[in-house]
Amino acid sequence: MSTVRLKRLSADHAQLREYVRAHPRVRVLQCEGDPPERYQLEYRINSLRSVAGELKPAATHTVEIVLPRNYPRTPPMCRMLTPVFHPNIAPHAICVGDHWSPGEPLQSIVMRIGELLAYQSYNVKSPLNGEAARWVAENEDKLPLDSVSLLPEEHDTDSAHEVTNSQPPSAPAAVETSTEPAKNLTACPSCHKRFRINANWIGRRTNCPACQEEFELQPIVES
């Protein structure tokens, strides 16, 4: 195993351990490798599954994430181990987006899968499940099914001004030399709760886990 891959896998594992420790709805069931190259995760998020053609609520889900040999140049391989009814989830694969950046950390993929399960995120234009895409078109007013925020909360207020000095993930050279993506602090404009996020999440919308208000992720500008 190359030194670059070893460092990246180790960094992903450390970051994911911190994430699941802070997030009550996600936990690691098992992992394989040292550092891990395969994970099984459990999500406790309100979603749907189809049972004999009838939609039923589903609140617990198991996901497998495999980091292939060429990771992070190639994206993780993700699949459900429990059935889910969603436009972008098939038995063999989970579509977490059309564009993969090698600088995107594993934690970001874990968060995006949670947002899919909660129906906070979906793409009906190129679905893996056409029936689910049609259901979304007819029931958008009922979505999301779960308003949980997948963001990690910022607990360390003493380090609120610290930002990692790695290069943006869009720079290919930085991918080979940096194991930690750049970090920013953001804050909910309604309740002012702070969260630490990766730089490539800026501009996304999410729900605050403290007050449940939706807001756009923007970095805190210190004066």
Domain ranges, ordered by start, for the chain: 3-142, 157-216
Q: For residues 2 and 91, which has the higher predicted lDDT (pLDDT)?
A: 91
Query: How much of the chain, in percent, has pLDDT values that exceed 90?
Result: 61
For residue 15, give the amino acid letter: Q
Among 4-8, 80-84, 215-219, which range has the highest average pLDDT? 80-84
Q: For residues 168 and 156, which has the higher predicted lDDT (pLDDT)?
A: 156
SS (H, E, C) 77-112: EEEECCCCCECCEECCEECCCCCCCCCCCHHHHHHH
pLDDT at position 200: 65
pTM over 0.85: no
CATH superfamily of 3-142: Ubiquitin Conjugating Enzyme (3.10.110.10)
- pLDDT band of residue 182 (cuts 50, 70, 90) is low
**Phi and psi at residue 158, to the nearest 5°:** -70, -25
* Residue 26 and residue 110 in contact, taking contact as beta carbons nearer than 8 Å: yes
pLDDT at position 159: 35
Asked whether the predicted pLDDT for residue 169 surpasses 80, the reply is no
